[in-house]
């Protein structure tokens, strides 16, 4: 507000008194709303944070609206201004965010069409956990929560190798330690109900929960993507897994034709997880440090519900432990028990369906506890693990693993526990040359339970076993 505007507002308040009202035309003075707005602007100036211009786009031979949004700074909430920028330029325009940091203090649902988000810094979520829990965006699967949702068509999110999302997750790691699927933890980035999307040069650091998820979407390319979940609390040195659980890197759910290229993950849970009804998924050049590796599932959690995973190709995968978290699994197939017990997110079971037409090739791993694993008795409800076995209704077949090299942490290389109800079949192993890290129990290096073996499947070393050696890995298997 300019000084002259302020003087006008003060003068208006003075002239509004009965003593002068009879000699002044009050209709010429600012309204009460204008006065309040002017005083608010004086106390909380925004300095024209949103600039709008038009530039010529040579690709489309037309002019595009360009919105440049400046951050308010000093940890002031930029969420409302980001919404305004999307309203102004989110349909056919360009959103430029040039500053190093933008504070996000509200759960957001944005819509983009034929739009380009040009981000050069961080969208940093506030640490008010009470607010985020109360204002969660519900996600029906496992009663989960979202914090930042983007819907739309034909849009690009470009982090320019300079930023992306900072979830400020330490407050959540402290709050939720030892509590799997803690209620209300928001996912950092959700691509929802979208088509023809590119996310590139983008990072998610300190995610509050799952770093990213693609939901009900198709034709999505995620490339040059980085995720890092690290606990800086000294107390977490005792057991980083229980502090960093549920910090998945990239998940898919009810989505078709999703491609991931050039991804690096460090955390304490699934590097990549294909949730129910993930189809035509292509993964290339992914490196994972710590956590539970590449996961197919979990799946078949909801009783009587058909789930599928199919048409998947993964190529060029590297898996290592991190300085904070062991590498629990390498490539991992997990489905729920056959009869429902408890309720989601940690209970469930009784779903059915199949995973088929899967190729995973050119995988290197070091010091992974369970390099190749199948678990069809999945349940996380306390006290229920192990009460149901061999009764899963989900079918794993037409799955092909080739050129796996490196070294396991222990004796186990392949630990495949399939269901008697739905035995695993039509799997092939080709050039599986992972060396055991220990050789004191070679009899458990290749275990295949309820597995249809024979022919040229490459599983001649695999055999049934009920050994419980090397089963303690933080509760995952």
The pLDDT score that the predictor gives to residue 29 is: 60
- Nearest CA to 94 out of 83, 85, 84 is that of 85
Strands of 206-303 (E only): list them: 212-215, 218-228, 250-253, 255-266, 272-274, 278-289, 294-299
In-domain check, residue 457? no
Residue 40: pLDDT over 90: no
The pLDDT score that the predictor gives to residue 26 is: 53
The pLDDT score that the predictor gives to residue 190 is: 98
Same domain as 118, residue 98: yes
Q: What's the pLDDT tens digit per position in 202-215?
A: 999 999 999 999 99
Q: What's the pLDDT tens digit per position in 238-297?
A: 777 778 999 999 999 999 999 999 999 999 999 999 999 999 999 999 999 999 999 999
- Residues 477 and 372: their CA atoms lie apart, in Å, by 12
- Indicate the DSSP class of residue 235: G
Same domain as 128, residue 10: no
- Nearest CA to 309 out of 272, 270, 356 is that of 356
Residue 8: pLDDT over 90: no
Span of 4-8, 176-180, 367-371 with lowest mean pLDDT:
4-8
Same domain as 60, residue 36: no
The pLDDT score that the predictor gives to residue 388 is: 87
Same domain as 35, residue 56: no
Same domain as 55, residue 20: no
Same domain as 218, residue 175: yes
Residue 41: pLDDT over 80: no
- Indicate the DSSP class of residue 291: B
- The percentage of residues in the chain with a pLDDT greater than 70, rounded to a whole number, is 89
For residue 166, the domain's CATH number is 2.160.20.10
Q: Which residues contact 472 (CB under 8 A, 6 or more apart)?
A: none
Higher pLDDT, 122 or 14: 122
3-22 average pLDDT score: 45
- Residues 261 and 221: their CA atoms lie apart, in Å, by 8
Active site includes 269?
Answer: yes
In-domain check, residue 385? yes
- The percentage of residues in the chain with a pLDDT greater than 90, rounded to a whole number, is 79
In-domain check, residue 72? yes
75-102 average pLDDT score: 98
Same domain as 252, residue 328: yes
First to last CA, the chain: 63
- Residues 137 and 106: their CA atoms lie apart, in Å, by 11
212 neighbors 260 (Cβ within 8 angstroms):
no
The pLDDT score that the predictor gives to residue 475 is: 41
Q: Give the number of domains in the chain.
A: 2
Please give the model's pTM, rounded to 2 decimal places. Answer: 0.89
Residue 36: pLDDT over 70: no
Same domain as 126, residue 18: no
Q: What's the burial of 455, exposed, middle or buried (CB within 10 Å: 0-12/13-18/19+)? A: exposed
In-domain check, residue 192? yes
Region label for 408, one of left (φ > 0), alpha (ψ between -120 and 50) or beta (otherwise): beta
Same domain as 315, residue 416: yes
The pLDDT score that the predictor gives to residue 473 is: 54
In-domain check, residue 344? yes
Same domain as 289, residue 394: yes
Domain boundary among 13, 28, 45: 45
Name the catalytic one among 269, 307, 375, 377. Answer: 269
Residue 159: pLDDT over 90: yes
- Residues 382 and 346: their CA atoms lie apart, in Å, by 9
- Nearest CA to 365 out of 397, 333, 329, 401 is that of 329
Same domain as 134, residue 20: no
Question: Which residue has tokens 């590796």?
Answer: 293
Q: Which residues contact 234 (CB under 8 A, 6 or more apart)?
A: none
C-alpha Rg value of the chain to the nearest Å: 27
The pLDDT score that the predictor gives to residue 206 is: 98
In-domain check, residue 464? no
Residue 363 structural domain? 50-449
In-domain check, residue 460? no
The pLDDT score that the predictor gives to residue 428 is: 96
The pLDDT score that the predictor gives to residue 2 is: 45
Q: What's the pLDDT tens digit per position in 384-425?
A: 777 888 899 999 999 999 999 999 999 999 999 999 999 999
Q: What is the DSSP string of 198-231?
A: EEEEEEEES-SS-SEEEES-EEEEEEEEEEE---
What pairs with residue 444 in β-bridges? none
Same domain as 10, residue 95: no
- Nearest CA to 187 out of 148, 138, 130 is that of 148
- In the chain, % helix, strand, coil (3-state, to 5) comes to 15, 45, 40
In-domain check, residue 470? no
- Band the pLDDT of 426: cuts 50, 70, 90: very high
- Residues 321 and 369: their CA atoms lie apart, in Å, by 9
């Amino acid at each position: 507000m300019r000084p002259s505007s302020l003087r006008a507002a003060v003068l208006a308040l003075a002239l509004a008194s009965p003593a002068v009202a009879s000699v002044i035309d009050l209709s010429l003075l600012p309204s009460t709303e204008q006065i309040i707005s002017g005083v608010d602007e004086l106390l909380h100036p925004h300095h024209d944070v949103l600039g709008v211009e038009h530039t010529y786009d040579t690709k489309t031979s037309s002019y595009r609206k360009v919105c440049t949004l400046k951050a308010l700074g000093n940890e002031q909430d930029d969420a409302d201004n980001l919404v305004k920028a999307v309203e102004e330029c989110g349909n056919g325009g360009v959103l430029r965010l040039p500053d190093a940091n933008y504070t996000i203090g509200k759960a957001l649902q944005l819509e983009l069409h034929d739009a380009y988000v040009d981000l050069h810094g961080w969208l940093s979520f506030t640490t008010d956990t009470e607010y985020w829990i109360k204002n969660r965006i519900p996600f029906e699967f496992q009663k989960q929560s979202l914090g930042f949702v983007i819907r739309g068509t034909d849009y690009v999110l470009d982090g320019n190798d300079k930023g992306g999302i900072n979830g400020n997750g330490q407050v959540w790691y402290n709050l939720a330690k030892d509590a799997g699927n803690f209620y209300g933890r928001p996912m950092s980035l959700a691509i929802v109900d979208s088509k023809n999307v590119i996310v590139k040069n983008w990072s998610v650091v300190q995610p509050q929960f799952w770093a990213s998820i693609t939901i009900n979407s198709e034709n999505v390319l995620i490339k040059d993507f980085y995720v890092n979940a690290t606990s800086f609390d000294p107390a977490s040195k005792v057991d980083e897994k229980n502090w960093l659980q549920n910090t998945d890197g990239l998940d898919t759910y009810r989505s078709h034709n999703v491609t991931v290229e050039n991804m690096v993950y460090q955390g304490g849970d699934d590097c990549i997880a294909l949730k129910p009804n993930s189809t035509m998924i292509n993964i290339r050049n992914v490196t994972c440090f710590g956590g539970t590796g590449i996961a197919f599932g979990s799946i078949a959690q909801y009783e009587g519900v058909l789930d599928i995973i199919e048409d998947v190709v993964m190529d060029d995968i590297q898996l290592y432990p991190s300085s904070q978290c062991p590498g629990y699994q390498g490539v991992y197939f997990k489905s729920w028990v056959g009869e429902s017990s408890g309720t989601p997110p940690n209970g469930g079971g009784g779903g059915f369906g199949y995973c088929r037409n899967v190729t995973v090739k050119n995988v290197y791993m070091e010091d992974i506890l369970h390099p190749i694993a199948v678990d069809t008795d999945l349940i996380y409800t306390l006290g229920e693990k192990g009460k149901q076995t061999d009764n899963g209704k989900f079918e794993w077949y037409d799955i092909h693993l080739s050129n796996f090299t490196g070294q396991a942490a222990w004796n186990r290389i392949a630990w495949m526990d399939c269901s008697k109800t739905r035995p695993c079949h039509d799997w092939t192993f080709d050039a599986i040359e992972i060396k055991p890290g220990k050789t004191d129990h070679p009899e458990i290096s290749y275990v295949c339970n309820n597995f249809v073996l024979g022919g040229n499947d490459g599983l001649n070393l695999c055999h049934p076993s009920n050994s419980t050696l090397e089963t303690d890995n933080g509760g995952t298997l």
